């Protein structure tokens, strides 16, 4: 996780907007986001600031394959702790995911082939 490319000030990528944390019960399991999970969310928040294609930037700045990156990102979309960390990014990605699902379902209902 190498951070922003040289010559780019960190201030160009806004910090996540925190939502107020709900009261937690003492007997509930609480998962804490790891450094990698936070780095993936931070990268997704402002990936367009990185030079070149997104897949290459993932490998260069996060040190993981694009496939692994998207697996981690999909898991984080359903993680309540990820939403508490950066609610705007997570909710935006959930909307994108839901729009894609809706488009696939509508294509099937119209008798079309999904992906057309």
In a domain, 98, yes or no: yes
Total number of domains constituting the chain: 1
Report which of 15, 13, 21, 1 is spatially closest to residue 81, judged by C-alpha positions. 21
Would 25 be classed as within a structural domain?
Answer: no
Domain assignment present for 1: no
Residue 65 DSSP SS3: coil
**Which residues form the domain of 50?**
34-107
pLDDT recorded at residue 89? 96
Backbone Cα Rg of the chain: 17
Task: Assess if residue 54 is contained within a domain.
Answer: yes
Residue 61 counted as domain residue: yes
Tell whether 6 is covered by a domain.
Answer: no
Residue 2 lies in a domain: no
pLDDT (tens place) for every residue of the chain, 116 residues total: 555 444 443 445 656 555 555 544 444 444 688 999 999 999 999 988 888 899 999 999 899 999 999 999 999 999 999 999 999 999 999 999 999 999 989 887 777 655 55
Element (H, E) at 7: none
């Amino acid at each position: 996780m190498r951070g922003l490319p040289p010559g780019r000030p960190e201030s160009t990528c806004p910090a996540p907007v925190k939502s107020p944390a709900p009261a937690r019960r003492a007997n509930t399991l609480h998962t804490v986001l790891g450094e990698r999970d936070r780095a993936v969310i931070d990268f997704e928040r402002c990936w367009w600031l990185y030079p070149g294609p997104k897949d290459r930037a993932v490998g260069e700045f996060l040190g993981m394959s694009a496939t692994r990156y998207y697996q981690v990102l999909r898991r984080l979309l359903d993680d309540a702790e990820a939403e508490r960390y950066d609610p705007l990014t997570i909710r935006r990605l959930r909307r994108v995911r839901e729009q894609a699902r809706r488009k696939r379902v509508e294509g099937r209902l119209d008798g079309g082939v999904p992906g057309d």
